[in-house]
Structure formats: C-alpha cells, structure tokens
Amino acid sequence: MIPVPRRARISEAPGLSNPARSRITLADFARCTVDRKPSQVAMIAAQPAEKLNGGMMAKAADDDCLSSGQLRMKPMLMRGALFVELYRRRERATRQGDKWSLPAVAFDEQAQVDPTDADLKLQIGLLSFASCVIQHDPAVAKAIVLAPTAGKEQDAAIATLAPHLGQCLPGGQKITLGKTFLEGALAEVLYRGTVSVTLPMSQEAK
C-alpha cells in the first residue's frame, strides 16, 4: 500500500468569509504540493529569491492537488504558501529532533533582479519589507507563520503586528498588504534567513 497525499478541498466550514476560505484552501493546496511533488519543491527551495520566477511556480501548481472546483492564484501567492508550508515543517522537524534535508538559500537584499520582470521586482520588495518586520519583532512574525492560516491565533498575531508595520516603510509611504501576501513574505524570509550586511572597513581599520 502506497499512501497518496490528500488533495486540497475548498472548506465548507460555516462562518468563514470568502477571503478566509481562499486562504485556507491555498494553504491546503501547498501542503499537497509539498507532499506530491518533493523534487519540484526542492528545486524551488534551492533557487535564490531573485531567480525564483513565476514560471517555476506555475509548473508546480496543477490540478493534481485540487479535489474539485477551481483555484485561481497569482504565482506570488503560490510561492508564499509553499514557503509557509516549508517553514512550518522545518520548525516541526526541529522540535522533534528530525533531520531536515531541503535546501535554504539566504535572501540577499542587494542581489540584482531582472528589471523586465515586474512581478519579481515586487516580490523582492515584499521580502525586503518582511525582513525589516522580522528584525523588529521576530516573535510575532514567527507566530503569524506558525499559526494555522486564517485562524484566530494568526489573525490576532497580525493585528498585534499591524500598528508597527509602518516603521519598515520609507518615510511617508503607505502600503495595502493582504494577509496572504504578508504571511507568505514573512515565511520565505524566515525559511531562507538573510545575507549578513557587510559594512565597509573604515579608513582607520585599513
């Protein structure tokens, strides 16, 4: 008997808003993708952030992981959901003392991005924002990603963090960031870690 990973199902739980239902379904879809396509997911995890484009994500997403209905999403949303699942699994493996074998390429805010790929430029901007948020409040950032998607614990953690998000924006700027994008960007930076910024040596040190 070979176990087949369960496909994602659109939740029919009462009282869920449509956005919450979509977030839960996307998380379930990512869980199935990690189980059913380990080689492709490993290739995604091995890519530097600035090289992981929408085409790679599209190849990993197909109807193998959806039991019924349709799930339309931007590659950026699928990317975030996969890193949420990967980070949760790695944290669980660490707690249980299990070995984690998938790669994690550190996020480098200084890396060059293809200027013709607008979506990728936006993604890297979101990761830079998430990196700043994590530096200011790592505990709440981790709580957002580790809590069940669209659950009360996660929504409470997001509400705790929301008033402080402005400190990671350039002066005077505003941003409207959906919960799915925030969760995904935080997860990717937490999973990857970041490249340490090397300050130039002072003239005296030289």
Residue 168: CA atoms inside 13 Å, Cβ hemisphere, count?
Answer: 21
What is the predicted pLDDT for the residue at 127? 96
What is the predicted pLDDT for the residue at 54? 87
Q: Which residues of the chain have pLDDT under 70?
A: 1-5, 10-12, 67-72, 171-175, 197-206
Q: What is the dihedral of CA 150, 76, 172, 197, to 10 degrees?
A: 110
What is the predicted pLDDT for the residue at 206? 43
pLDDT in tens, 115-138: 999 999 999 999 999 999 999 999
Q: Which pTM does this prediction carry? A: 0.89
> In angstroms, rounded to a whole number, what is the distance separating the alpha carbons of residues 112 and 95?
35
